[in-house]
Amino acid sequence: MQFEAFGAFVFLASVIALIVLFYTAWQSYCIDDARQKLFEQRDRLFDLCAEGHWSFDSDEYRKVRSDLEVLIRFTHRITMPTLLMAALLGPKKPDRTNPPPFSIDYNALPNERVKAEVRRAVAGAAQVVIRTVVRRSAAVMVLTGALLIWGVLARLLKPLLPVSVSKMYELAQASEGKRWKSAQGA
């Protein structure tokens, strides 16, 4: 009896320790990691300007850089509850006076290399935001893990499914036929 109580205590202490770790050190790590990745995206664009492929004075450069800096500044606010509240309580009609983040005219960019790098930086920033939301929410992490496992199993079992269904159908037909014959013969 004492061993079971000790086991329950160890389990409860472990769960509490994991929760404390998740909501303290893990959250700080996720925020720092996201900010570092966003700084890397911003530095990629800075390097383009420093190499002379793009102008520091370009309106597009300043817009993308400003949008990245907003993400860097408010990374600690990027959570699933915040996104849900913004979606539910945010404005119903788009604000035409303030363009959405990362809305730039790609045709105004000077060359294909700059266009490709800007697209890569914007896509990288979007991936950082999504990854941050997933990693900072225990519920989303569990759901994402379950969906990934389900997807992998579905992909692995898909080739077997048509064979299994057709064999089950044949077995059902055969057993139905045997029952029908035995019912008529009796």
Q: Which amino acid, 137?
A: S
Round to the nearest angstrom and report the end-to-end CA distance of the chain: 61
**pLDDT tens for residues 19-36?**
999 999 999 999 999 999
pLDDT band at 41 (very low <50, low <70, confident <90, very high): very high
Secondary structure of 115-177 in HEC code, one letter for each residue: HHHHHHHHHHHHHHHHHHHHHHCHHHHHHHHHHHHHHHHHHHHCCHHHHHHHHHHHHHHHHHH
C-alpha distances (whole Å) from 128 to each of 18, 34, 122 are 24, 6, 10
3-state SS class at 22: helix
Q: Does the pLDDT at position 179 exceed 70?
A: no
What is the mean pLDDT of the segment spanning 40-62? Answer: 93
- Per residue in 90-145, pLDDT (tens digit) is 777 777 777 777 888 888 888 999 999 999 999 999 999 999 999 999 999 899 88
Q: What is the pLDDT of residues 65-88, one digit of tens each?
A: 999 999 999 999 989 998 888 888
The answer to whether the CB of 13 falls within 8 A of the CB of 36 is no
* CB-based contacts of 37, cutoff 8 Å, min separation 6: 124, 128
